[in-house]
Structure formats: structure tokens, C-alpha cells
Chain A
Amino acid sequence: MPKQFITGNEAAVLGAIDAGAEVMFGYPITPATEILQGWITKVELHSANAEENKKLQYLQTEDEIAAGFGVLGAVLGGNKAFTASAGPGHILLQDSLAMAENLRLPFVGIMMQRGGPSTGTVNFSQQEVNLAAFGGNGDGLRVVYSASSVAEMYGLTIEAFNTAWEYRFPTIVLGDGYLAKTRKTVELEKPKKNISSYPILEEKNRVIHLRNCYSNEEALGKILKKNINDWKKSAPQIIKSESYLADDAEILILAHGLVAAAAKEAIDKLRQEKIKIGLFRPITINPIDNAGLKKAALNANKIYIIESSLNQFSRIIKYELAGLENNFIEISKPAEGFTPEEIMKAIK
């Protein structure tokens, strides 16, 4: 594709379209609103003349609860459907996300994190990690991607649809307010092939009864056991991470999303000062690339875990890297961003 000067929200809309999404349900909320706006604009302004957009639909719902359950209904009908939200809207979406987890429905949600708790700020945070990964009344069988750049908002949105429909787990792309609103020049690459969708509440020669509620422990337990098994089997194919100058690093930074982008800049500068420092960035926060993480961590004698929430990310890391805690230095700034200079200062 030619070079484009776009925001993270615009990249998400392009990603959804190139992933073959057919319908969006959403409710306006800063900083994710432009995804809803962008999708509707595409549908309305292009459907008349662009063959490929003819089938696209949208519904601006009464709230995020209806948006999430609308997604599930369309998914049951065989459409690639999605929503986008943030903060308090992301909270309301947990209801439908939990149902998606129970029924293994390929829900796709793009969450542009804002400051919390509650209304918080409209700007930025990494405080929706717990919510995205473990927010429901279940065990967190949801795939969570964390995007680090505008271009990645596009690529991970496409990947989210494909992962959701291939493995049948709800899938979330985490961005944040800065990523949502920052305009960058990007050169995007269209996917070669997407996973197809299909009607779920429909089968040939068989009537489907899908329930979300069981009358005894064993019946639900059996389903959950199967789901957990599938999750464990799928995880190696789903995990995604980036290792940046980590091979010979004595100091390792663990960060995700936009904080990892700042860490990279800091690393480039520190490397010029001959400091052996690198970054390991989980791109899927759930499931996480445990082997890649361990490999990077075992080489380092100091590990900085840097994030814009109070240890939400580092709690995941600590579970994965149990035994290495002595090397950890946790830097948490809930709902505030990091500059590369700040990171350099903290490390020196």
C-alpha cells in the first residue's frame, strides 16, 4: 500500500476492513470514538460505489453492553463483528466478553486504554491489562494483544480477527489514547489471506442449542476443561513477542505497548554509551511467550519492568519468571506516560 499519514484509530479501522470485518457495534467514548466514526464513514461513503464494502454494516448502540452482545449475535450469525471502546466502556463489555469466553465465540474488541479508575482521564494508561486479560468471571481465556505503534494497530487488528476465528477465543487489541490520536506516516501491508467466518448458530442437518448456563458443576467443569485444553494447545501458535537487542543484554527492560516504544528509544541512546541493554516486549500479553521471555530474562542480571499501571503487567511477568524476582526493579506510573529520557535516567 502507498504511504499514509494516519492515526492509530484510523489504522484500526483499516485493519478491521482488511481483516474482512462486516459489522461494527459501538458506543462513543474517548479515546476510541474515531474507530466507530471511521467505520461508519467508510460504510456510508463507500458502500454506494465500492463493491467490497456493500455488505458492511454498523449499529451505534444504546451502551457498550448492547454493543458487546450485538457483536455476539452477529458472530453467531456468521459475521466478522467487532467493537471498540475504552475505560468505563471496556468494563461494560466484560459481560459479553465473559459470554464469548464461555461459548467460545470469536469476539473482537479494540480497547484504547484511558486513565482509570473510573472515568479517570481520556488520555492514556496501561491500566486495562487486568480487565482485558482477566476481567470476566472466568479464567481469562482471552487473547490480548498490546500494540506499540500506529502500524501495529493495523497489523494486530487483522491478526485479532484471524486469531479469534481460527481458535475461537475472544480477542482484544489494546492500544491507548496517545496511540489512538497520534498521526504517523506508515506503509501498511495487506494480509495475504484471512481466516473465514461462518455461522455458529447453524449447522447442516442438526439443530444447535447453545447455553451459557449449566445445572451442575460437572457439566460446566467438563466444558471448561476442554476450553482450557484448547487454550493450552493454541497458545504456542498465538503467542507473539519482540526481542530488541536482548541477546547480549545485561540489563533487560520488560515493557509492552507504547511504553515499550519509549524504552526502545532509550535503549538506542544507552547503547551508544556502550551500556548492554535490551528489551523484551510481549506483543500478546495473554497468552504470553513464556519461552522467549525466559530466554531473555536468564541472560540479564537486572530486569526493569516498566509500565503505566500499578504492576498489572509485572504481576503477569512475576508469575512467568518465578525465581528471578531478585533481579526485578519495577517502575510503575499508573495512567502517566514515559519519555525515553525518563527511562534512561531511571536506569543510569
Chain B
Amino acid sequence: MTNFSPKSWDQASKPHLFCPGCGHAIALKQLGYAIDELGIQKETALGIDIGCSLLAWNFFDVNTVQTHHGRTTPVMVGYKMAQPEKIVLAYMGDGGGYAIGLQSLIHAAFRNNPITVVLINNENYAMTGGQMSPTTETGIKTTTSPLGKDIKFGPGFKGPELLKNIASPKAFIARASVSNPIQLKDFLAKAIKNQSENSSFSFVEVLSICPTNWKTDVKQSFDKLKEMEKYYPLGEL
């Protein structure tokens, strides 16, 4: 069999449970390649948040714990304190990281806790049926913004830019997109290395597609992603 999947994936959990076309799978594939390349599978501990993210609770052949509401951040901060030699990853969505769990994310960045947070931004609460999230851009229709997101609920939330303001200069902060897997993998690898080599906080936001809740086909999904990339610029901050 030709190996099209990362070695660090747990094949027993495949095919995965994400919706057809979901961007999570692209992000998790690049995360897997980054883990493979760095040869850190055995020393990695992965924290998985609630929402669609939780479907990755057994995605990797890596010790994994699943929690909810952005608490993945403090769980992995605590884990890292007990196991400082481990590579500690926290994987979450934009609701968990930027709404209900933002306080912990900000303070982990502020304290420069040596963990790597990967946050999937698909501009909605997807598992619960496509509600408006902090990252939903103005005018976008969701199940809780049926007329389009009103500016009174805020514009699209720029997480990496926010964290950059309060994080240590040693922190690695970047935004990638599933439209550019090579850059995505590069950022993930850099973020992990910043943890192991500089003992510092790192954060990668990944712009992603949600065809199910966006009600878009392949082309429309990637067209919309291109629009997102205009508002949410890719790159290291």
C-alpha cells in the first residue's frame, strides 16, 4: 500500500470521522507530517478540545487526552509542568480558543508557557451546527446570525494579532491556511521547535474550510477560504 498518510497517524482510527471535505483532516495531516519529520512521535502528548476537534481524540498514534471549552490549554500547561521533557500540543477550534477558553490562551501566551497551540479557524461553531463564532466575519450568515453577522457582535476576531501583543518576544505566532499545506507544515514544525529549543509558547492559527456548515461545494469552499485569507493575512507575526 502506498503510504499517503503520516506515520504518526493511528491507522485504526481511519477513515476519520470528520465530514467529507473538512479542513481539519488537511491540518491534522500536516501536523502528522511535522511530527514525523521532527521524529517526536514517542515524546509527544496531545490535548484535544471539544467541538469538531474532539473527533481527533484517537487520530494519532500519540498519547492523547480530550477535554472541552479551551481547557485544553491549561490541561497541557499543567501536563508540561509535570513532564517538561515532553512535546506538548493543544489542538482546538476558534470557539474553544477565542471565546470560552480565551482567558487561558491569553495567559498561557502571556506567561510564555512552553506549549504549542494549534487553533483551527473555520469561522463557526461547526459541531453544534454552524453558529456564529468570534471569527465569523461581518455580514456572514450563520444559524445565529441569519441576516449576516452584525457589526454589533464585533468584526472577525484576530487571535494571532491579539496574542502577539501580549506574548513574550520569544513566542512563535503564525497564521496558516489549509490552502497552503507546505507553509502550514512549516509553521507547525517551527512552532514545535520553538517549544523544544526555546522553551517558549507557540501558536498557529489555521484557516480552514467547513463545507457542511458553509453549505459550499469544493470550489466555493476554497473561494471562500481565499476571501478569508484577505481579512486574515497568512504568515508569521
| Chain A residues proximal to chain B, CB less than 8 Å | 22-23, 25, 57, 59, 61-63, 65-67, 69-79, 81, 95-96, 99, 103, 199, 201-202, 207-213
Q: Tally of A-B residue pairs with Cβ under 8 A?
A: 126
CB nearest neighbor in B for A213: B54
Instruction: Find out whether the CB atom of A62 lies under 8 angstroms from the CB atom of B107.
Output: yes
Instruction: Find out whether the CB atom of A61 lies under 8 angstroms from the CB atom of B81.
Output: no
Q: Is B18 an interface residue (CB 8 A)?
A: no
**Contact for A70 among B45, B57, B62, B78, CB less than 8 A:** B78
Which residues on B sit within 8 Å (CB–CB) of A207? 10, 61-64
| Chain B residues proximal to chain A, CB less than 8 Å | 10, 45, 47, 50, 54, 57-58, 61-69, 71, 73-83, 86, 103-104, 106-107
Which residues on A sit within 8 Å (CB–CB) of B78? 23, 25, 59, 69-77, 81
Which residues on B sit within 8 Å (CB–CB) of A209? 10, 57-58, 63-64
Q: How distant is the Cα of A79 from the Cα of B68 in the complex, in angstroms?
A: 22
Q: How distant is the Cα of A199 from the Cα of B67 in the complex, in angstroms?
A: 18
Instruction: Find out whether the CB atom of A61 lies under 8 angstroms from the CB atom of B67.
Output: no
Known A-B contacts A201-B65, A209-B58, A210-B66; the reply to A59 vs B77 at CB < 8 A is yes
Instruction: Find out whether the CB atom of A76 lies under 8 angstroms from the CB atom of B65.
Output: yes
Q: How distant is the Cα of A71 from the Cα of B75 in the complex, in angstroms?
A: 7
Which residues on A sit within 8 Å (CB–CB) of B73? 66
Instruction: Find out whether the CB atom of B107 lies under 8 angstroms from the CB atom of A66.
Output: yes
Known A-B contacts A65-B74, A69-B75, A211-B58; the reply to A78 vs B82 at CB < 8 A is yes
A-B pairs with lowest CB-CB distance, top 10: A73-B78, A77-B82, A70-B78, A73-B79, A69-B74, A66-B74, A73-B75, A79-B82, A62-B107, A74-B78
Q: How distant is the Cα of A211 from the Cα of B57 in the complex, in angstroms?
A: 6
Q: How far is the CB of A278 from chain B (nearest CB, A)?
A: 45
Q: How far is the CB of A51 from chain B (nearest CB, A)?
A: 19
Q: How far is the CB of A280 from chain B (nearest CB, A)?
A: 39
Instruction: Find out whether the CB atom of B68 lies under 8 angstroms from the CB atom of A208.
Output: no
CB nearest neighbor in A for B79: A73
Q: How far is the CB of A323 from chain B (nearest CB, A)?
A: 42
Q: Is the interface of B mostly helix, strand, loop or mixed?
A: mixed
CB nearest neighbor in B for A208: B63
Q: How far is the CB of A70 from chain B (nearest CB, A)?
A: 4
Known A-B contacts A25-B78, A70-B77, A209-B64; the reply to A78 vs B83 at CB < 8 A is yes
Instruction: Find out whether the CB atom of B61 lies under 8 angstroms from the CB atom of A211.
Output: no
Q: How distant is the Cα of A25 from the Cα of B73 in the complex, in angstroms?
A: 14
Q: How distant is the Cα of A96 from the Cα of B65 in the complex, in angstroms?
A: 14
Which residues on A sit within 8 Å (CB–CB) of B57? 209-211, 213
Sample of 9 more A-B contacts, CB < 8 Å, known A79-B81, A213-B50:
A65-B104, A67-B74, A73-B75, A77-B78, A99-B67, A201-B79, A207-B61, A209-B63, A213-B66
Instruction: Find out whether the CB atom of A73 lies under 8 angstroms from the CB atom of B58.
Output: no
**Contact for B81 among A66, A73, A96, A99, CB less than 8 A:** A73
Q: How far is the CB of A184 from chain B (nearest CB, A)?
A: 33
Q: How distant is the Cα of A62 from the Cα of B65 in the complex, in angstroms?
A: 22
Q: How distant is the Cα of A59 from the Cα of B107 in the complex, in angstroms?
A: 11
Instruction: Find out whether the CB atom of B107 lies under 8 angstroms from the CB atom of A61.
Output: yes
Instruction: Find out whether the CB atom of B104 lies under 8 angstroms from the CB atom of A199.
Output: no
Which residues on A sit within 8 Å (CB–CB) of B58? 209, 211
Q: How distant is the Cα of A208 from the Cα of B66 in the complex, in angstroms?
A: 11
Q: How far is the CB of A165 from chain B (nearest CB, A)?
A: 14
Q: How distant is the Cα of A22 from the Cα of B62 in the complex, in angstroms?
A: 26
Which residues on A sit within 8 Å (CB–CB) of B10? 207, 209
Instruction: Find out whether the CB atom of A211 lies under 8 angstroms from the CB atom of B81.
Output: no
Q: How distant is the Cα of A59 from the Cα of B110 in the complex, in angstroms?
A: 13
Known A-B contacts A59-B81, A77-B78, A209-B58; the reply to A66 vs B104 at CB < 8 A is yes
